[in-house]
Amino acid sequence: MALAKLREMLDKKEISAVELTQQYLDNIEKRDKDINSYITVCAESAIEDAKKAQNTIDSGNATAFTGLPISVKDNICTLGVKTTCASKMLEDFIPPYDATVMEKLKASDIVMLGKTNMDEFAMGGSSQTSYFGGVKNPYDTSRVTGGSSGGAAASVAADLCAAALGSDTGGSVRQPASFCGVTGLKPTYGAVSRWGLIAFASSLDQIGVIAKSAEDTGYLLNGIYGYDANDATSSKKSEGNYTSLVGSDVSRLKIGVPKEFFGDGLNDEIKTAVLNAVEYYKKLGCEIVDVSLPSLEYAVSAYYLISSAEAASNLSRFDGIKYGLRSGLGEDFNDLIKNSRREGFGNEVKRRIMLGNYALCSGYYDAYYKNATRIRTQLKEEYASIFEKCDVMLTPTAPTTAYKIGEQENDPVKMYLADIYTVTVNIAGLPAISTTCGYDSKGLPIGMSLIGRAFDEKTIIAVCDRFEKDFDRKEAVL
C-alpha cells in the first residue's frame, strides 16, 4: 500500500502500528531467508517503537511518519544498532549516534525494522560483495538485485518494509530499483544531510529513497531533506513539499531524450520499453526534445577515478587502531595496520583503494584525477545547456535487466560499464528518479530514469507519477 494509505489506516485505527509492524516482521521471517535483504532485523526494538508510535497516534499527535515501518541501508548510522557497511571491518561496529536522517525520522516515531544488506562499503553494482552473503532478486532469486542498495530495493519489492532509505554514489539507489521493479529517488547533492552516512566518495554520495511509487519517494523525502550544520556540503536550497505537484498537469513540459543513451550496448528490449515511455509522454502532449550529452563516453572513467580517489582517502581511517577490526597478527604498529586492512577489506574495496591511491600518486595526479575533475565540469556545463531547452531528461536506468548471480562479478570492467547511464547524475549533483517502464521476455523489470534540474525533485516526481498511474506494474512473485 502507498505510505499515505497506510497513514490513513493508522489514523483511522483500521490497523494499529504494532499490527502493521508485526505483519512486516512476519514477512521478513517467512521470505528473507530466500532473499537475504537484511543484515540486522530489529524485531524487539521495532515492536517497542511501534508501541510508542501507537501511543502518539492515540494521543492525536501523529505526524506523517508515525508508525510507518521502514528499512535502513547498513551504511547509515543508527544509535545502538549495528552498522556494518556489509563488511568484516565493521562487523561489530555499533554507532554511538544517529545519522541526521534517522534523528529526523525517529522524532516522528517512525519504526525501523532493520538494516539492509549491500555491497561492502557501497562498492559494487550487484550487492554480491557483502561479507554477509549476496542479496537475491525477488523477481528471480538466481539473479542479482543491483547495487549497492540491493538489500533496500529487495526489501521494498518483497514487501519486507513500507519504504527504504538507501544511498546513491553512482546509481546505487536507481539501478537496484530498476532491477527489482520499484521506484528509487536520488535527490540533489546537498538536499539531504550526509551526516552519519559512512563515506564512500564524499563529493558523490547522497542518501536516497526506495519505495513502491514516485509519490511515496517524495512522501519520505519530505521527512529527511533539509540543511544540516553538521554537514559542510548541506544546502539551504531544498524547499520540501515534494509531492505538491503530484496529480498536476505535466503535458506542457519539455522532455529531453539524449541520443548517446540509446546507442550500442543498450539491450534491445530495454531500448524499446524506454522509447515506448517517450511515446507515452508525447501522446500526453509533452514536447520531446532531442538533446546531447557528448561527454557520456568519458563519464564512467571519470566517475571511477574520482570515487576511488575519495574512497582511498575516506577508508584510510580504518586502520585497526580507533575502531573496526583489529588483527591479531603482526609484531609492530605497521604490521597491525597492514594486517587489519588486509583481513578487514574485501577484494572490491581493496581494488578501489589501490586504484584511488594510484590516481593520486605524484606523477599520475594530473593525467588521471585532474582530468577526471575536468570531465566533471564539462558534464555540468552540458547538463546546464540541456536544461535550457527542456524541463526533464528521460533515459534508460541500466543497459541490461538483472543478470544471473556470478555472471559479471569476476569481470570488474564489465560491471563498471553497467553504471554508464547513472553516474553522470552524481557527477553533476542532479536529482533523478527511476521507475519501471516495462518487462523483458523473462519477466524482469526494465527501468527508466527521469533527471531534473538541481533541487527540482518536485517536477521529476510528478512526471514519474503520471507515468506510473497508467502503467500496469507487476509485483514480484516469491
- Please report the domains of the chain, with CATH numbers, ordered by start residue: 3-249+402-408+431-470 (3.90.1300.10), 298-372 (no CATH)
| Distance (Å, whole) CA 185 – CA 165 | 10
Structure confidence by residue, pLDDT tens digits, 70-123:
999 999 999 999 999 999 999 999 999 999 999 999 999 999 999 999 999 999
Q: Is 172 a catalytic residue?
A: yes
pLDDT 10s digits, 4-57:
999 999 999 999 999 999 999 999 999 999 999 999 999 999 999 999 999 999
Catalytic hit among 148, 167, 234, 295: 148
Q: Contact at 8 Å (CB) between 75 and 88?
A: no
**What percent of the chain clears pLDDT 70, i.e. is strictly above it?**
100
Global model pTM greater than 0.95? yes
Question: At which residue does the C-alpha cell 547511464 appear?
Answer: 421
- Average pLDDT of the chain, as a whole number: 96
- pLDDT for 415 equals 82
Catalytic annotation present for 148: yes
Instruction: Evaluate if residue 437 carries a pLDDT over 70.
Output: yes
Whether 148 contacts 127, CB under 8 Å = yes
Half-sphere exposure of 338 (CA within 13 A, CB side): 7
Do 449 and 168 form a contact (C-beta atoms < 8 A)?
no
Say yes or no to pLDDT of 409 above 90: no
Is the confidence at residue 478, as pLDDT, over 70?
Answer: no
Which of these is catalytic: 16, 37, 71, 73?
73
Query: Does 71 qualify as catalytic in the annotation?
Result: no
Residues 6+ apart with CB under 8 A from 218: 185, 242, 243, 246, 457, 458, 461
CB atoms within 10 A of CB 321: 12
Q: How far from each other are the two terminal CA atoms of the chain, in whole angstroms?
A: 18
Regarding beta strands 207-211 and 183-186, do their DSSP bridges make them parallel or antiparallel, or are they unpaired?
A: antiparallel
Q: How confident is the model at residue 344 (pLDDT cuts 50, 70, 90)?
A: very high
**From the candidates 172, 238, 308, 434, which is the catalytic residue?**
172
